[in-house]
Each structure stands twice: as structure tokens, then as C-alpha cells.
Amino acid sequence: MAILDRLPTRDRLQRMGIITTGDCVLCNDALETRSHLFFECPTASNLWEIILQHNGLKKSISSWEDMIVWACNSWKGKSLISTILKLAWCAKIYVLWEERNRRIFQGRSRSTDDLFICIKEFVGIKLRGKKINMFDRVNTFLCNSWAIPEETFA
Ligand SMILES: [Zn+2]
């Protein structure tokens, strides 16, 4: 839904006359478009930076479109790092949408650190039972960094 830009983001609801202000509820500083909410918003970009750090990566990407191109070109194969990047990206989209709804409908909010904990848990759960080659030093680093439980080590 996020990739196809079909989510009822606030810019769209405002155009439809359903709401009068379409500001992003995470930063209150920009119109909530798909690209803003999931990529440009400081909360989204901070989360993504933390995710990259946990993968030992540092990469500056300036737009949602460039991000999708990078993901499609680079996250190939079954390496642990590709798998984690894909899982973490999906989890990031999910928690941002959930957090946005929580703020709008429940008036409650969580910190970026709290959101990252949710992402880390999701990645850990998804990798449970996966056979990981621990002779690969990148994998050892990733398992430490993401606190992937030891029972998944093979
Ligand atoms: Zn924002």
C-alpha cells in the first residue's frame, strides 16, 4: 500500500475535504504525504539511520524514489544483511503508520527509540530458526547488533 501510494495519508484526506489540515502528526512541520511520512519526516529518517547503523552501513539517500531504486538494486539474494534490510524496511513503514494512527486516534505517542525497539523485535522474531552461517564475520556482527537470539545460530 505504501509503495503504491494508496494509503489514506493526510494530504489526500485534505484534498477530499475530509480533514482541514493535512499536517504530519509526527513532526507537525510538513504536509503528510506518503514520501514525507515514510521517508522525509525526521522521525522516519532518524529511524532509518538507526537501522543502517545496526547494519554497519551509512548511506545518504535524498528521496523516497531513490530509496526504492536502491532497495530494488541492492537488496537481492538471501544474504543476512539483505534479509534484515528488507525486514527492517517493512517494519519501519508499519510502525510509522501505526504510530501516526495512535497519535491521531488515541492521542498517545512513543519516542523514536521505542519505535526502533518494535522494529528490532520484529526482525528478531522473523529471523528465529533461520540458519545463519556464523563463520561469516558480517553475520556475526549483524547477530550481535540486532541481538538475534542464539538458538538461530547454525
Ligand atoms: Zn513529519
The set of cell numbers assigned to 116 is: 526502533
Distance 146 CA to ligand 1 centre (A): 26
pTM for the complete prediction? 0.90
Instruction: Give the torsion through C-alpha atoms of 63, 90, 121, 37, to 10 deg.
Output: 50
Question: Cβ neighbours of residue 82 under 8 Å, at least 6 residues apart?
Answer: 74, 75, 76
Average pLDDT over residues 64-78: 90
Exposure pattern of 66-75 as b/e (b: 16+ CB <10 Å)?
A: ebeeebeeee
Q: Would you say residue 98 has pLDDT above 60?
A: yes
Distance 136 CA to ligand 1 centre (A): 38
Nearest to 148 by CA among 55, 43, 58: 55
In a domain, 120, yes or no: yes
In a domain, 1, yes or no: no
Distance 74 CA to ligand 1 centre (A): 27
Which protein residues have their CB within 5 A of the ion that is ligand 1? 24, 26-27, 41
Nearest to 110 by CA among 120, 100, 123: 100
In a domain, 78, yes or no: yes
> How many CA within 13 A on the CB side of residue 126?
16
Distance 44 CA to ligand 1 centre (A): 8
What pLDDT is stored for residue 59 in this prediction? Answer: 83
Average pLDDT over residues 112-119: 97
Q: Please state, in angstroms and rounded to a whole number, the distance separating the CA atoms of residues 60 and 141.
A: 22
Share of the chain above pLDDT 70, in %: 97
What pLDDT is stored for residue 143 in this prediction? Answer: 94
Number of structural domains the chain divides into: 1
Average pLDDT over residues 108-132: 94
Average pLDDT over residues 89-114: 96
pLDDT in tens, 14-26: 888 888 889 999 9
The residue range of the domain holding 109 is 43-152
In a domain, 83, yes or no: yes
Lowest mean pLDDT among 32-41, 101-110, 144-153: 144-153
Q: Please state, in angstroms and rounded to a whole number, the distance separating the CA atoms of residues 28 and 96.
A: 14
pLDDT in tens, 129-152: 888 988 899 999 999 999 987 665
Give CA separation, 129 vs 79, 83, 154, in Å: 15, 14, 9
Distance 124 CA to ligand 1 centre (A): 27
In a domain, 15, yes or no: no
What pLDDT is stored for residue 150 in this prediction? Answer: 64
In a domain, 13, yes or no: no
In a domain, 5, yes or no: no
In a domain, 112, yes or no: yes
